[in-house]
Amino acid sequence: MTLPVTPADVDAAAARIEPFVHRTPVLTSSTLDRELDCRVFFKAENLQKVGAFKARGATNAILQLADDARGVVTHSSGNHGQALAYAASIRDLPAWVVMPRTAPRLKIDAVRSYGAEVVLCDHAERESTAAAVVERTGAVLIHPFDDPRVIAGQGTATLELVDQVPNLDVIVAPIGGGGLLSGAATVGSAQKRPIRVVGAEPFAVDDAYRSLKTGVRQPGVESPVTLADGLLTGLGARPFAILSALGAEVVRVTEAAVLEAAYFILQRMKLVVEPSGATPLAALRSEPDRFRNRRVGVIISGGNTDLAWLGAAEAITLRPGTSP
């Protein structure tokens, strides 16, 4: 079966984007290793350009555009929009980013700060609004996750991780549209000892879990409500094909588990993460038997947050009888 993205595509992406992205560090927590009875290695993509792994895929896509490209368009809840605006600036291209009105103000402002024009719309109208902008401007649509160039670029995070940490047994990453996880699966499957890949997804937006369980891509959840605003999109067709073929799994997590994980990373590891980026740790804590005695790579997807969730997290983690 021919998949939309190959390990060679990821290798090529890594060479292409290397001058424009960070090689992010890998961090550990002995406290967490003792708690979970495994070794956990955090790939800190919250320290990436624009504060998220999305810089990788957007840059890989932009660098492959034709010389006569008139600009780029995307729809995004925030991180891909920032990434596309950043990548467009590398080639001095105009960028338009369609964002839901409910997107965090922090992310809307950040997209504008990179020079893109923000077009606000209702969450359900993002794709149609983006199509209208393409029609009006003649710019090229760069899909946030259902684009082979974007998936290959996202896969470079895992490519770095397996170089930095040998002999991983499993890699856990958030899943929304599936670009990051399908890139991880592409790289993981190509190792001499293939690495299992697990996605972390809130119960509130669990279409990826249901899709991989049934073998049929399920529609995205309508009007989803979750603190993990970076995971609101439904699973893309190309990521679904890759993840299905390579045997990926998904663990669902509660909102409380996400809050507790984000708070732990902030307080104990001194890293600012957005709730979406904390879902992998929530998955490890929710189903620890999956990971016991394993070497686990975790991709922290991003750190773009206004910390509005912090009060709720403190109320949960500091309630009587618990410890941070």
**Nearest to residue 156, comparing CAs of 290, 19, 269, 280?**
19
**CA angle 266-251-258, nearest 5°?**
25
Question: Closest Cα to residue 74, out of 105, 90, 98, 101?
Answer: 98
Answer yes or no: 77 catalytic.
yes
Contact 1, 240 (CB under 8 A): no
HSE value, Cβ hemisphere, 13 Å, CA-based, for 255: 11
Nearest Cα to 301, choosing from 106, 80, 74? Answer: 80
The whole-angstrom separation of Cα 242 and Cα 94 is: 32
Q: Considering 29, 43, 49, 54, which one is annotated as catalytic?
A: 54
Neighbours of 287 (CB within 10 A): 13
Q: What contacts 92, CB < 8 A, 6 or more positions away?
A: none
**How many Cβ atoms from other residues are within 10 Å of residue 304's Cβ?**
24
Q: For residue 322, give the amino acid letter.
A: T
Provide the β-strand partners of residue 100.
121
Contact 72, 65 (CB under 8 A): yes
Annotation marks residue 270 as catalytic = no
**Bridge partner list, 253:** 202
Q: Active site residue: 76, 77, 244, 301, which one? A: 77
Q: Give the catalytic positions in this structure.
A: 54, 77
